[in-house]
A and B are shown apart, each in its own frame.
Chain A
């Protein structure tokens, strides 16, 4: 495209020159816009920073008045590619809770931001909590109606509701919950907050990727990866299901060499992918492997049909960019890659 334009500029004609100048400006503008769009696409929206020294486990945001916790189904995980016009992959986790139900904070803490305007069904509360990990945890609750009288600066408690689920207006009634940074533009993984919760598969139901593990002795790498979908399934009493990814892809660079990749489709019944990273990468003792993983959601599934024909299908581990392409350039890959050193 660019070559053609340069060639045309060799044909002298005042009219054409003006036209070409206008065209050139338009092209430059479109390129600037395109760069700007790409920049947004690669803006940082996620952080993968698991705390393994968490002394306080989160409670469910949904419980009865006595404190018995309910564990609603997740219909869209954090970092999940989805078939919608909103953030993609999903920045946060959707829980299927019906209109009018009471919502409780998952930790005691202080309200640091609120939006009580519910005209767009985007009522919002951000609670800052000290959960014993050396930094505050900021938990957001959205699509809610805050309890009247609540205000920024107020301390809230896991045993007292802070909101009810808002009625259908633009979105189906549900709770959007997430752990964010102070400025609310970066989302953390959330599964580690619920590591003790069997109902949500120790939190794995809430994040596309969870519990990565590497065994130095065997060079075996494992990670849980699956979809929690809002697809209705008439054959299942609950109407929902957990769905396999089409495959995950290991992207790797050994000792700083060119990035390569390999697909891995097999997982165990609990959606745990296990592979020998040394064998997959042909690395030898002493080599350094940089890697990241993508999970591809099946947009032709005969089960997870609400995702059929979706154009955006990938989730990244580690999650980082807001809307990355399915394959990263070297620079973009280097920025997020994790490192393993082969010791055996």
Chain B
């Protein structure tokens, strides 16, 4: 029975495929795999916008939206209608083709990243051998679309915003990939399905998640920091901060294209959260072995909701980082930490299981972390301001 609930989507898909003639079966299979993702994640996007506004409201001691629908949960419908019916203004000197293609590209890239996430047992659209690599390759297409958006608007603010956004995304892509490399080293495969299956075992009631190792904890934290920066989310949302640069690279976008950018950003957030779940939190496996009766895809979405809640919590707490603080943080702190993380993953692999290797690995990573952060804090000294071009 629980097995049936667990595999209910797979069973439904095969049942529907039975009605399709054999010639069209590969195409129908692809469509049937893709359509649920195309429905589920935009729905999750709608729910997340409401949850975020209400969550941020409660954090800031106020109600969120509570007029449209029960407790405000029809707000995304209202937002959708608003963005669809807004006038689509394109600047006269803008590059119309590129201006149009940029939001399309970001949404397409964001959707393509879901192809390798295992949402449940036997529920992955594409079981690629190099699944993780595919994910990061698609992620790097997003930067190109950011540039296209910023350049085509032919506006100084959007160009500046695009430059800063690309610089930020490139800087944080390196720690993102390095944090992933640790998991790949340990799992021995680039395929996301294999990585999840490696974590799906239990010793006693405790799962084999990579989170419960020193390099897993550090890697997870680094991955989440880099993921927050990759999706331009607070506290790394300077490129789109309204009080700094008035929405940065999507200043000149209005109406539906703006909604597409918003959608693309949130979908990117979900995709990197999904990858974090796959790599560190055991994908679709239950946290304790007593809970395996709950379907696997429910666990995936539960973990995803927890991570989204974490994102919202961080957004409500931390102030925005300035551009130079952001870049310093990436190159001077996060990158060395991720390299050290790789070191302790290797040490972990070659030591015997037990408390000793926990202590050794924690010491190896904690000491430089404390020293580095203390050193970086002391380094900040105020310099005399010089104006390079104003003589």
Chain B binds chain A? no
